Amino acid sequence: MGKVKSFEEIDILQENLVELQTSHMLGNKYSYFPGTPSTRLERLLRERELRKLNKEVDQCLTDGDNWSSEEEFLQGVAVPRGLGDRCERKERRPPKQRLLLVANRLPVSAVRRGEDSWALEISVGGLVSALLGVNEFEARWIGWAGVNVPDEIGQRTLTRALAEKRCIPVFLDEEVVHQYYNGYCNNILWPLFHYLGLPQEDRLDTTRNFQSQFDAYKKANQMFADVVNEHYQEGDTVWCHDYHLMFLPKCLKEYNSKMKVGWFLHTPFPSSEIHRTLPSRSELLRSVLAADLVGFHTYDYARHFVSACTRILGLEGTPDGVEDQGKITRVAAFPIGIDSDRFIRALELPQVQDHIKELKERFAGRKVMLGVDRLDMIKGIPQKILAFEKFLEENGDWRDKVVLLQIAVPTRTDVPDYQKLTCQVHEIVGRINGRFGTLTTVPIHHLDRSLDFYALCALYAVTDVALVTSLRDGMNLVSYEFVACQDSKKGVLILSEFAGAAQSLGAGAILVNPWNITEVAASIGYALNMPADEREKRHNHNFMHVTTHTSQEWAETFVSELNDTIVEAQLRIRQIPPLLPSKFAIEHYLKSNNRILILGFNATLTQPLDAQGRRGDQLKELELKLHPDLKETLKKLCDDPKTTIIIFSGSDRTLLDENFGEYNMWLAAEHGMFLRLTKGDWMTTMPENLHMDWVDSVKHVFEYFTERTPRSYFELRETSLLWNYKYSDVEFGRLQARDMLQHLWTGPISNASLDVIQGARSVEVRAVGVTKGAAIDRILGEIVHNKGMKAPIDYVLCIGHFLAKDEDIYTFFEPELPPEPAAVARANMVSPVKSPKSKVSAGKSGPRASKNKPHRPLSTLEKRISNHGNGTGWQPNRLDSMSVHEGSSVLVLRGDNYFSCAVGRKRSNARYLLRSSTDVVTLLKELAEASSSS
């Protein structure tokens, strides 16, 4: 702890803090990043700077208040001692952020002493220890007090007693606890998340109980949500913890979508192969994804979670997290730590020193080995004891020189598997003590109870070798606590490679596979004989980690990232076009005289994938079919003489013929390279200089990857090739696509005139310049010419699920920007003289029914733009009107008569969005009905 600072120094620090807070908005000398931070990393680094300074001020103001958080906690919110003037200065600090910490277990468990009297004890477990160290926030705990309180007096008095500890109880009745906590949480999720699988015995019973336990789980989560909602104040951050509350984020967001919600898992998240065995796998994942930020102890767990979301839910995994219809749930690793100072300080306390003295005397002449675990299958206690037995067996000379102290804290004692474990451990310990004990000593001291904090610190301090042999463990804070208490002894940590802690303490610890008893026994020998200099080196490494990666840091980083996730989401939302205002679009449709409807096919006019968003039946889906509800509607719309419909698709001619042959409309196949009025023949609209000499080479590449990627396929079209892996294993598909792209971009065909376009689950190769936007001018020219249109086109509705590359079709119709400096160059296009590169190309001759003949320009149109708009953003009236005319105008398009609309996308250049083809169907139906009744 630094030396106590003078008030002047504190004042200067506080001024700096205020300045830095301002610079958070503006940027100044304290910032490494001048200006407003624009990226997430910049924002997070700046906030980190701010926190550091804040802490320095805090440190100065609280120097001398040496409470350990547990004691402070048990005493309630005490008035700080001996602060004098410091109090006044403390008031000048900005108020702390309010944080609602929601966990199944409150940090205190209640024991009833009488009708209205309660004793509160600190709960045991890593989650509680870690969160007790979090004091940077104005925190309130919400959770279960570990006791059934059926009566009103009891509930009222306990609520009052807990309020002093800033705890708010959730009252769960016995039946719910049994089904939710003992059943679904601890008999199903807990073993599954620790790779122990779903319950194997009494299969029928398990299946029968599963549904009722799951229902109780949801009910309990809703009860937690109700209490949160009752205490929530605007601006609060809600941090949900652990596998008990996977439904909570969804319940909270349903109640208030603006609530800032984070969720953190304290256990491992298993491989998606394990998670997919769970009957409620999808529901749980979806509920968690309702949170804004989802955190795990390690990168591996985060990776497994994202992979489960992609493989089970069919969602996109991005570097930031998981994306579902444009909504991103951020997923990241936040390794927890401990309040290391609390342990280091405790070692100086007289009661701990006394304990240490006693223990040293008691075990004089013997090396002390220590295990501290909840008596849980995942902790590998039997395996640890068997390894110790093997060590004694093979090292006779150590038998009277070493003792193993095993603290096994009873836990979840109502769950049958835990009861069995207790018997099993007792049996093994008894056998080994009988085998190697003497009249005066036993090799294993096994305690079935918890110790108080001071006794635990003393034990950690006198230990020579700590043995943590979890079969799986989210993190394991015992290993951290041991390291924190070992600065004078520099004992050795033997640590399971399956504990999250192995990732952070792996360098200083001896890592073991706890299933390999021989390896663990050998490690015990190695640790007991380790020379002092090696012990010191290993310890220093770990001590540095434990004292810098504290629980405080962990919580601050999580909350700061959660805050930032909200900022980021808002920035993203601003870039998302709004939903199509259908009423407005229909009103304008009815008022216009010559309308063009440009409609995509795939995912625009087809039936959506199944409701789960999963990839369904490949064979069925591969046959692209027009949505059955559209047949009548399309007929009506096509029969309207004021309306021209163009189906504008990447698909080939045959597919469009099959689906649309019976309607009176225009079909533009292969991104507009072929055009046909359904009553006429196909004509080519390909530009003359289109080179297709690369097709064979690309085809070979596509064949190669199709053969090696199960369930992928490719479509060979005349002007493009498409490789699709949407039905393949997502991750493998992506790897293959990356490999393919690499080859296409840098391999032997990299110099060919082709465009390689990466879709969400596809790779498409086209001749350079083949885009829907590039083709639309030729197509429109042809249609205007063919129809001999007299009235100008005064309404355009363009709807499609187009690739980014094809979004140039939306901008084609977009009137030019108002005359700002950047737009001046574009405004020159107003000139009636056509520049050769202008968007609308020329050509007066009619179509040619031949295939693959070079294209000749079809018609001469010219685009005249007038700007009357003054708004910004996604307003339809932003750009008022545009006209294209040739002598008399053939296209007079006011800004508010133009509707470009992307289907099922979030990022788009279109003015509007429609969620799915179902919405397209609804819109077109309404359009047809309104127009036939008008």
Ligand X SMILES: O=P(O)(O)OC[C@H]1O[C@H](O[C@H]2O[C@H](CO)[C@@H](O)[C@H](O)[C@H]2O)[C@H](O)[C@@H](O)[C@@H]1O
Site residues for ligand X per CB under 6 A: 105, 125-127, 130, 242, 266-267, 336, 411-412, 473-477
Spacing of C-alpha 316 from chain mean position: 10
Residue in 124, 198, 528, 752 binding ligand UDP, rule: CB under 6 A: 124
How far is residue 597's CA from residue 577's CA, in Å, rounded to a whole number? 20
Q: How far is the CB of 409 from ligand UDP (least distance, A)?
A: 5
Cβ contacts of residue 760 below 8 Å, gap of 6+? 316, 726
Nearer to ligand UDP, 475 or 722 (CB): 475
Task: Compute the least distance from the CB of residue 480 to ligand UDP, in Å.
Answer: 8
Going by their DSSP bridges, the two strands 713-716 and 683-684 should be labelled as unpaired
Ranges within 556-615 binding ligand UDP (CB under 6 A): none
In the complex, the smallest distance separating the C-beta of residue 429 from ligand UDP, rounded to whole angstroms, is: 17
Could you tell me which residues come within 8 angstroms of residue 855 by beta carbon, excluding any fewer than 6 positions away?
684, 685, 686, 687, 688, 690, 778
Of residues 17 and 456, the one with the C-beta less far from ligand UDP: 456
Residue placing its CB nearer to ligand UDP in the complex, 455 or 528? 455
Q: Which is nearer to ligand X, 266 or 535 (CB)?
A: 266
Among ligand UDP, ligand X, none, what does residue 412 contact (CB within 5–8 Å per kind)? ligand X
126 or 687, CB closer to ligand UDP?
126
Decide: helix, strand or coil at residue 138: strand
Strands 762-767 and 720-724: antiparallel
One-letter amino acid at 729 equals D
Tell me the residue number closest to ligand UDP, measured at CB: 126
451 binds ligand UDP (CB under 6 A): yes
Q: Looking at beta carbons only, is 242 or 814 nearer to ligand X?
A: 242
Quick one: which of 68, 450, 841, 883 contacts ligand UDP (CB under 6 A)? 450
E-assigned strand segments in 375-420: 402-409
Q: How many residues bind ligand UDP (CB under 6 A)?
A: 17
Q: Which of 68, 132, 55 is nearest to 477 (CA)?
A: 132
Is the Cβ of residue 343 or residue 795 nearer to ligand UDP in the bound state?
Answer: 343
| Residue 764 binds which of ligand UDP, ligand X, none (CB < 5-8 A, kind-dependent) | none
Binding pattern to ligand UDP, positions 132-171, x when CB under 6 A?
A: ----------------------------------------
**Beta carbon of residue 139, minimum distance to ligand X (angstroms, whole number):** 16
Taking CB within 5 to 8 Å according to partner kind, which of ligand UDP, ligand X, none is near residue 450?
ligand UDP
Q: Which residues pair with 796 in a beta bridge?
A: 596, 898
Residues in 358-417 at the binding interface with ligand UDP, rule: CB under 6 A: 372, 374, 407, 409
Nearer CB in complex with ligand X: 265/429:
265
Buried b (16+ CB within 10 A) or exposed e, 301-328: bbbbbbbbbbbbbbbbbeeebbbbebbb
Question: Three-class SS of residue 881?
Answer: strand
Name residue, tokens 């309630």: 76
Q: Which of 416, 491, 473, 460 is nearest to 125 (CA)?
A: 473
Separation CA 500–CA 301 (nearest Å):
9
Distances (CA, A) of 334 to 557, 564, 879: 8, 15, 47
- Select 481 or 896, whichever has its Cβ closest to ligand UDP: 481
What is the rounded distance in angstroms from the CA atom of residue 489 to the CA atom of residue 474?
27
Q: Which residues contact 53 (CB under 8 A, 6 or more apart)?
A: 13, 16, 17, 20, 30
Structure tokens at 19: 């300045």
Instruction: Give the single-character DSSP code of 579.
Output: B
Shortest Cβ 368–ligand UDP spacing (Å) = 16
Stretch of residues binding ligand UDP (CB under 6 A), selected from 448-456, 490-498, 564-572, 791-799: 448-456
Q: Taking phi first (over 0 means left), then psi (-120 to 50 degrees means alpha), and beta for anything else, what does residue 339 get?
A: beta
For ligand UDP, which is the closer residue by CB, 503 or 697?
Answer: 503
**Minimum distance of ligand UDP from residue 165's CB (angstroms):** 17
| Residue with smaller CB distance to ligand UDP, 472 or 855 | 472
Among the listed residues 613, 615, 616, the one whose alpha carbon sits nearest the alpha carbon of residue 327: 613
Q: Which stretch binds ligand UDP (CB under 6 A): 119-127, 732-740, 833-841, 866-874?
A: 119-127
451 binds, among ligand UDP, ligand X, none (CB under 5 to 8 A by kind): ligand UDP
d(CA 627, CA 920) in angstroms, rounded, equals 10
Using DSSP's 3-state secondary structure scheme, residue 616 falls into coil
Angle at 669 between CA 663 and CA 672, to 5 degrees: 115
Among ligand X, ligand UDP, none, residue 549 binds (CB under 5-8 Å by kind)? none
C-beta of 124 vs 511, nearer to ligand UDP: 124
Instruction: State yes or no: residue 126 binds ligand UDP (CB under 6 A).
Output: yes
CB of 337 to ligand UDP, least distance (A): 11
What is the C-alpha to C-alpha distance for residues 476 and 542, in angstroms, rounded to an integer?
Answer: 14
| Cβ-based nearer residue to ligand X, 477 or 512 | 477
DSSP class of 793: B
- Spatial distance between the Cα atoms of 568 and 576, rounded to a whole number of angstroms: 13
Least CB distance from residue 267 to ligand UDP, whole Å?
8
Give residues 25-54 in contact with ligand UDP (rule: CB under 6 A): none
Is 478 one of the binding residues for ligand UDP (CB under 6 A)? yes
Dig out the tokens for 312 from the structure.
Answer: 């089970």
Q: What's the token pair of residue 819?
A: 């005359």
Token couple for 730? 């997502």
Q: Between residues 121 and 739, which has the closer beta carbon with respect to ligand X?
A: 121
Q: CB 827: neighbour CB atoms within 10 A?
A: 15
CB of 449 to ligand UDP, least distance (A): 7
d(CA 907, CA 571): 12
Locate tokens 């940077």: which residue?
Answer: 136
Q: Which helix (H) or strand (E) holds 113?
A: strand 108-114
Q: Minimum CB separation from ligand UDP for residue 411, in Å?
A: 7
Residue 561 corresponds to which tokens in the numbers above? 């990232």
Contact between 481 and ligand UDP per CB under 6 A: yes
* Complex with ligand UDP: residue 189 or 586, whichever CB lies closer: 189
Helices 532-548/477-484 angle, 10° precision: 110
Give whole-number Cα distances, 18 to 22, 34, 138, 611, 731, in Å: 6, 17, 20, 51, 47
Least distance in Å: CB of 192 to ligand UDP?
16
Q: Which stretch binds ligand UDP (CB under 6 A): 476-484, 545-553, 684-692, 712-720?
A: 476-484
Please identify, among the stretches 298-306, 472-480, 570-578, 802-810, the one whose residues bind ligand UDP according to the rule CB under 6 A.
Answer: 472-480
Query: What's the one-letter identity of residue 333?
Result: A
86 binds, among ligand UDP, ligand X, none (CB under 5 to 8 A by kind): none
First CA to last CA distance, the chain: 81
Closest approach, Cβ 411 to ligand X, in A, equals 5
| Residue 891: contacted member of ligand X, ligand UDP, none (CB under 5 to 8 Å, by partner type) | none
Whose tokens are 């477990």? That residue is 125
> Binding mask 66-105 vs ligand UDP (x if CB under 6 A, - otherwise)?
----------------------------------------
Q: How far is the CB of 356 from ligand UDP (least distance, A)?
A: 17
Q: Which two tokens stand for residue 273?
A: 């192969």
When binding is defined by CB under 6 A, the residue of 307, 476, 486, 565 that contacts ligand UDP is 476
Q: Which is nearer to ligand X, 411 or 889 (CB)?
A: 411
Nearer to ligand X by Cβ, of 474 and 876: the residue is: 474
Check residue 76 and report its DSSP letter. -
Picked from ligand X, ligand UDP, none, the partner binding residue 407 (CB below 5 to 8 A depending on kind) is ligand UDP
Name the residues that contact ligand UDP, by CB under 6 A: 124-127, 129, 372, 374, 407, 409, 450-451, 456, 475-478, 481
